[in-house]
Structure 1
């Protein structure tokens, strides 16, 4: 039997709500990717080129620290990884997450929340960071996505 994890980073709470519903729909474990240094409103001001998020996203080698770890990643067959879209891709903390584990033999499914931007090159970026993983194309999910829609997507992806 396949074991599923929904791991997510949420800056405003939108991705958290979607991730909780996805975990319910998939009968999955849930893991919040929490930064060691929590983002403030000023940190998230994308219009300020000196804000923390802007600085991180302009430095592709930036890896913000995560405050906790998944106990045993190898127990999972599928890992959904959720995040808000920042600068048309996954936030740098997702890069930290992808480099923190051995995803060998695991199918990784990215999902994002966004007002309109899609995943961009996130799946490709995540694949490059997770040697041995099978990162498949994911999906942009609206903040109002219904559990029944998530259940259908899980059936399509996980079976």
Structure 2
């Protein structure tokens, strides 16, 4: 049973170690989720955020991101391409990250990229979720490295 679940997970997240781009996209998606959870639950994470001030530039940037997001979504719906759909999911994860954190420099996400860096003061539900996500990210990095190795061995 566990082997079937792991095989299905490998198929979805890295095409069984054959697609490094797919693994990378899932790493960014899980990292975005982890960072948003940290942003909402840990107070000191606010120190890493560089807020964009309200103004015309922010409104234009949001409008451009929204138009590109919608256009790319319609394009992927009409011409269904699996790899492009995953890039769309990557774009969606970045937009959701920006929506929740307002961090245009991605400083919090870059700080949170270290899979071994966990911020906790006590054992809590937040710590369990973060540990679970970090384990998934470490596994996906491993699968991405395998896919890159397989790609290089194919080229030889």
What is the TM-score normalised by the length of structure 2?
A: 0.23
Report which structure shows greater RCO (CA 8 Å, sep ≥6): 2
Which has the larger share of strand?
1
Q: Which has the larger radius of gyration?
A: 2
What is the TM-score normalised by the length of structure 1?
A: 0.22
